[in-house]
Amino acid sequence: MPNSLSAIIEILGTIAFTISGVYSAMQKKLDILGVIIIGFVTAIGGGTIRDVLIGHTPVTWMQDLTGPVVILATAIITILFKKRIGNFKVTLFLFDALGLGLFTVIGLQKGLAAGLHPGVCVALGTITGCFGGVCRDILLNHIPVLFHKEIYATACIIGGVVYFMLINTCGKSITEMVAVIVICSIRIIAYRKNWKLPAL
């Protein structure tokens, strides 16, 4: 995938993740700083856990300030225009799905760069995509949505497997793009059709 495209998608994904955190926090009547902190944690939590687990420190958001700046701006705008932003639910959901796909692929690549086994890379991709939401839910005192509602981690795992099936034959750019599209599509279709994994 061209770097510029991937950078744009990453920013859109960060925006969507931040907004999801801000909205969840506002429902719990947190104060303004609490809401912003939850926005941050939702957007950077997954990548931060990944970085800590592989020893890539100081963690990414400390070294590249694009993330924090985008998050802070997004959180403030969301708080100011909360009602209007509610009108863009569909757009936000699409950003979120795109972000999920791209974050997962970024996690996969960091795992590969650290020389880890493909299975571990898939786990790292899933952590990068999903664990920001897990941190959000823990801080807000919920059981993480990831574990009992909607198809989320499943999409990341399938996308990760597709990635490793293609990477040796299709080249890096195409493989990345296909993996992002697979994850994004599964997430969207599952949401539309209300697919769920069986509960136990």
Q: Which residues bind a second copy (CB under 8 A)?
A: 25-26, 28-35, 37-38, 48, 52-55, 57-59, 61-63, 65, 68, 79, 82, 114, 116-117, 119-120, 123, 134, 138-144, 146-149, 153-154, 157, 196-200
In the complex, least distance from residue 91 CB atom to a second copy, rounded to whole angstroms: 22
Determine if the peptide bond prior to 58 is cis (ω within 30°): yes
Considering only CA atoms, which of 149, 115, 109, 113 is closest in space to residue 130?
Answer: 149
In the complex, least distance from residue 154 CB atom to a second copy, rounded to whole angstroms: 6
Of the pair 5, 53, the CB lying nearest a second copy is at: 53
Instruction: Name the phi and psi angles at 52, rounded to 5.
Output: -65, -40
In the complex, least distance from residue 85 CB atom to a second copy, rounded to whole angstroms: 13
Considering only CA atoms, which of 1, 17, 24, 91 is closest in space to residue 61?
Answer: 17
Q: Answer yes or no: are the C-beta atoms of 182 and 159 closer than 8 Å.
A: yes
In the complex, least distance from residue 5 CB atom to a second copy, rounded to whole angstroms: 27
Of the pair 56, 170, the CB lying nearest a second copy is at: 56
Residue 144, amino acid = P
